[in-house]
Amino acid sequence: MKKIILSIAILASGMSTFAMTNNVTPATSINIIMNDGFTEVSLDELPAAVTSAVEKDFSTATISKAYVNANGQYKLELTAEGASSAVYIDKDGNWLEESAVK
């Protein structure tokens, strides 16, 4: 009887080693590059409505970079007092929320 109990205990411990989880993390990483559809344009190519809207609403800011997408919407990087931020505007000088940019 002792041999049967001992045999069952050995078999059970042998089976439990196969049920252990494997905590190995993968060594590769995934890099995601997002293309938001904007291409850089020179500041000379900006419509007059865009530059006048910036001068009116952000009088202390300067446009450091400008980008345009296929829908005629502009992404402007404004710099004011050492801080920069991105704003969106259409070709007619109307300000856009980031969620409205297509």
Instruction: Express each pLDDT in 18-57 by its tens digit.
Output: 556 666 666 676 665 555 688 899 999 899 999 999 999 9
d(CA 95, CA 91): 10
**Residue 37 burial (CB < 10 Å; 0-12/13-18/19+)?**
middle
Q: How many CB atoms lie within 10 A of CB 61?
A: 19
Pick the CATH number of 35-102 from 2.60.40.10, 3.90.1170.50, 3.10.450.360, 1.10.287.1080: 3.10.450.360
Domain residue ranges of the chain, discontinuous segments joined by +? 35-102
- The pLDDT tens digits of the residues spanning 38-47 come to 889 999 989 9
Q: How many CB atoms lie within 10 A of CB 56?
A: 9
**0.75 surpassed by pTM:** no
